[in-house]
Chains A and B, each alone.
Chain A
């Protein structure tokens, strides 16, 4: 069964607005990662947050992690048309574990 579940499944916003995607998971984790997938392409790693971290930033991306609620959110600020893609969360279950369990993804559409 999928470890991560993402919400919403699809999100459509206007360019310049902020986009927030959420990921919930079931078991304790070592780290949680977010990936982007443009249509017809492979996944690209965006950001990794470890279980002892609460927030992380990378450019226009902000990721939060709440281990008590077993949830994470990805915020993309000042969205651009080029941000149109599917976004996936993935969890690594324990230290040293290289396997990832992926959620089903959020399809983000940025309208010009």
Chain B
């Protein structure tokens, strides 16, 4: 199916474990983004990528690692999960060309760190 998908949709993990959240888009959009959504903070940008092998930090990058070896995939890794990383994580994409600025969001991953 075309669009942007995230997996898993729900994840419970323990403090200190490594967790990878997956994001896949079928549009060949240049830009991809990772956000976290917490009550009282809205959406905050963690990392973004302008193209394969080009990534940059957002507002709250500490404790997260990203990679983008293929245009369609943008995984987010929590190297050593902490309780403060309990959140809902959204991936988004954007064509990045033609003056198009709107972003297309995935359904989210609800992560609980115990």
- Whether A44 lies near B105 (C-beta < 8 A) is yes
Chain A nearest CB from B34 CB (Å) reads 12
- What residues on A are CB-neighbors of B104 within 8 Å? 45
- A30 and B101 alpha carbons, distance in the complex (Å): 10
Please give the residue numbers on chain A whose beta carbons come within 8 Å of chain B beta carbons, in ascending order: 2, 30-31, 33, 35, 40-45, 48, 88, 92, 98-105
- A98 and B58 alpha carbons, distance in the complex (Å): 12
Q: Considering only CB atoms, which chain A residue lies closest to B95 in the complex?
A: A98
Count how many chain B residues have C-beta atoms less than 8 Å from C-beta atoms of the other chain: 25
With contacts A98-B48, A98-B94 taken as known, whether A45 is within 8 angstroms of B42 at the C-beta atoms is no
- A101 and B108 alpha carbons, distance in the complex (Å): 18
Chain B nearest CB from A102 CB (Å) reads 4
- Whether B45 lies near A99 (C-beta < 8 A) is yes
- What residues on A are CB-neighbors of B42 within 8 Å? 2, 88, 102-105
With contacts A88-B43, A105-B42 taken as known, whether A100 is within 8 angstroms of B103 at the C-beta atoms is yes
With contacts A2-B42, A88-B43, A98-B50 taken as known, whether A48 is within 8 angstroms of B90 at the C-beta atoms is no
